[in-house]
């Protein structure tokens, strides 16, 4: 009853509206990118019918070439269809997106983290803002992150592929698989162990004598996978410089957290939003209006302002506040020998 009597909170309503707009923008990037791939001459070298020699796959720093030769259009179409399914799945989790936004709009901001899609959007903005600030600090002391370049069509399709192969390679294989093996060794039920492959937080949903060790293992694996994720960017030869290691590692930590708490689909959506959705409009601008996708045009500025400023700034300060409160509670617990009240959000279904 108390929840029902809560009044609408104007700042929270506005922030929820920003999240809705951001999700709409993510969805809108799909037809814009599709048009650029299939109905324009985005590339002077390739077309959507051009066959790809092989599809790369990663297990950490190990690269495997899959014996697949799809065309650019086929690969783009399959992966885009898959991302639509993942977005829909994320939107209906834990009572649904609308329920989470309604709860947040009535003053319960933590409600936004009960749904994996809304939480992914908030963490996306906060993480990218933190990454930009880290990059600015590094640049001020001469450490550059570099940039990526190449054929526009090849890049756009690669930006669609990377979220899948990198999240499976760095999150699923480097976090989920070792945790799954540990759970089997320590006698966890097969069903719970299998669920941890998709969402590692399932490892401690049932209290066992190994729950704490499972958490510690996941934290360590997230850290290791994040560092390797940063190194992989630098070692890829794609144009990234040494400053990219720390930036990608920071992003990797957020991706690992999303994977552990909400599931593999959340980390894929985050990665897809960074690589594909935030750039699809710019590639459309290049294909249709000959505006280089790397330039500061309306096609690139609008997504950047939305994600970094409108979503990122409030999300960054809120998550920083939550971390500070967790730290304070942990310090108090150490002094009183009582368990800390960790300010976590409810687990998604």
Least confident of 42-46, 152-156, 190-194, 196-200: 190-194
Is 80 exceeded by the pLDDT of residue 208? no
The tens digit of pLDDT for each residue in 159-171 reads 999 999 999 999 9
Q: Give me the number of domains the chain comprises.
A: 1
Is 60 exceeded by the pLDDT of residue 339? no
Determine, yes or no, domain membership for 150: yes
The per-residue pLDDT for 187 is: 85
- Whole-number mean pLDDT of the chain? 91
Is 60 exceeded by the pLDDT of residue 35? yes
Is 60 exceeded by the pLDDT of residue 40? yes
Q: Which are the contacts of 108, defined by CB distance < 8 A and separation ≥ 6?
A: 3, 6
The per-residue pLDDT for 333 is: 72
Closest listed residue to residue 150, CA positions, set 245, 316, 279: 279
Question: What secondary structure does DSSP assign to 90-141, as a single string?
Answer: HHHGGG-HHHHHHHHHTT-GGGGGSSHHHHHHHHHHHHHHHHHHHHHHHHHT
Least confident of 269-278, 305-314, 339-348: 339-348
State how far the Cα of 181 lies from the Cα of 187, in Å rounded to an integer: 10
Instruction: Label the pairing between strands 62-66 and 55-59.
Output: antiparallel
Determine, yes or no, domain membership for 132: yes
Determine, yes or no, domain membership for 325: no
The per-residue pLDDT for 290 is: 95
The per-residue pLDDT for 94 is: 86
The tens digit of pLDDT for each residue in 273-309 reads 999 999 999 999 999 999 999 999 999 999 999 999 9
Q: What is the average per-residue pLDDT within 216-230?
A: 96
Q: What is the average per-residue pLDDT within 42-49?
A: 96
Determine, yes or no, domain membership for 186: yes
The per-residue pLDDT for 166 is: 97
The whole domain housing 128 covers 2-315
Closest listed residue to residue 277, CA positions, set 74, 121, 100, 97: 121
Is 50 exceeded by the pLDDT of residue 91? yes
The per-residue pLDDT for 210 is: 67
Q: Dihedral sign, CA of 129, 330, 188, 175? A: positive
Is 50 exceeded by the pLDDT of residue 229? yes
Determine, yes or no, domain membership for 323: no
Cα–Cα distances in angstroms (integers) from residue 107 to residues 110, 250, 291, 319, in the given order: 9, 30, 43, 16
Percentage of residues of the chain with pLDDT beyond 70: 92
Determine, yes or no, domain membership for 32: yes
Q: What is the average per-residue pLDDT within 77-81?
A: 98
337 against 44, higher pLDDT: 44
Determine, yes or no, domain membership for 337: no
Determine, yes or no, domain membership for 332: no
Is 50 exceeded by the pLDDT of residue 115? yes
């Amino acid at each position: 009853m108390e929840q029902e009597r809560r009044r609408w909170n104007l700042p929270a309503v506005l922030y929820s509206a920003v999240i809705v707009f951001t999700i709409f923008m993510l969805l809108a990037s799909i037809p814009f990118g599709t048009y650029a791939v299939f109905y324009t001459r985005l590339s002077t070298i390739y077309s959507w019918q051009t066959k790809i020699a092989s599809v790369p796959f990663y297990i950490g720093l190990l690269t495997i070439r899959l014996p697949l030769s799809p065309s650019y259009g086929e690969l783009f179409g399959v992966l885009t269809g898959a991302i639509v399914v993942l977005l829909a799945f994320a939107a209906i989790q834990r009572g649904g997106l609308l329920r989470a936004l309604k709860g947040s709009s009535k003053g319960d901001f933590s409600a936004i983290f009960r749904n994996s899609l809304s939480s992914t959007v908030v963490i996306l903005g906060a993480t990218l803002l933190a990454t930009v600030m880290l990059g600015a600090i590094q640049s001020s002391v001469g450490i550059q992150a570099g940039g990526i370049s190449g054929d526009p069509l090849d890049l756009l399709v690669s930006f669609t592929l990377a979220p899948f192969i990198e999240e499976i390679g760095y999150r699923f294989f480097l976090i989920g698989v070792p945790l799954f093996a540990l759970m089997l060794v320590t006698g966890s039920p097969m069903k719970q162990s299998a669920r941890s492959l998709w969402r590692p937080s399932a490892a401690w949903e049932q209290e066992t004598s190994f729950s704490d060790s499972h958490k510690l293992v996941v934290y360590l694996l997230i850290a290791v996978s994040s560092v390797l994720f940063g190194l992989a960017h630098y070692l890829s030869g794609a144009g990234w410089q040494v400053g990219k290691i720390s930036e990608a590692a920071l992003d990797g930590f957020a991706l690992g957290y999303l994977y552990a708490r909400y599931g593999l689909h959340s980390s894929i959506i985050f990665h897809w939003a960074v690589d594909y959705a935030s750039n699809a409009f710019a590639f459309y601008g290049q294909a249709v209006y000959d505006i280089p996708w790397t330039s500061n045009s309306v096609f690139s500025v609008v997504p950047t302002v939305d994600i970094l400023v409108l979503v990122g700034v409030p999300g960054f300060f809120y998550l920083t506040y939550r971390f500070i409160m967790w730290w304070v509670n942990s310090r108090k617990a150490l002094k009183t020998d009582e368990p800390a009240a960790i300010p976590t959000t409810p687990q998604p279904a």
